[in-house]
Amino acid sequence: DAKTTQPNSMESNEEEPVHLPCNHSTISGTDYIHWYRQLPSQGPEYVIHGLTSNVNNRMASLAIAEDRKSSTLILHRATLRDAAVYYCIPLEEAGGSYIPTFGRGTSLIVHP
């Protein structure tokens, strides 16, 4: 599995954009970059994934570096409900072992 590095914590103010970085320099060419988050006292929740191109969905945007060694999850307008631990997980396409492995992630604190 590719090793990832994320800041332990980040802070934001409500309604401001948040950029959550992840380094995954050992990622393989077939690994998709997934992001999950875990709200307090809840199970993990899928956020977004991508391979090479930047991706957008209703929850967030994912910006992937051209060399794929890093990515950034972008929350365009943070809300209090976005306070959670965010996990960056490189994962090969299903067909082989498809087991998300959670690290420590980044704990996002959102101030009102």
Partner 1 sequence: EPEVTQTPSHQVTQMGQEVILRCVPISNHLYFYWYRQILGQKVEFLVSFYNNEISEKSEIFDDQFSVERPDGSNFTLKIRSTKLEDSAMYFCASRSSLAGVGELFFGEGSRLTVL
**What is the token pair recorded at 108?**
């996002």
Q: How far is the CB of 112 from partner 1 (least distance, A)?
A: 25
| 1 lies in the site for partner 1, by CB under 8 A | no
Of residues 60-89, those binding partner 1 (CB under 8 A): none
End-to-end CA distance of the chain: 37
C-alpha to C-alpha distance for 112 and 14, rounded to whole angstroms: 5
* Residue 11 CB neighbours (<10 A): 12
Q: Is 29 in the site for partner 1 (CB under 8 A)?
A: no
Which residues here bind partner 1, judged by CB under 8 A?
32, 34, 36, 38, 42-46, 49, 91, 93-95, 97-104
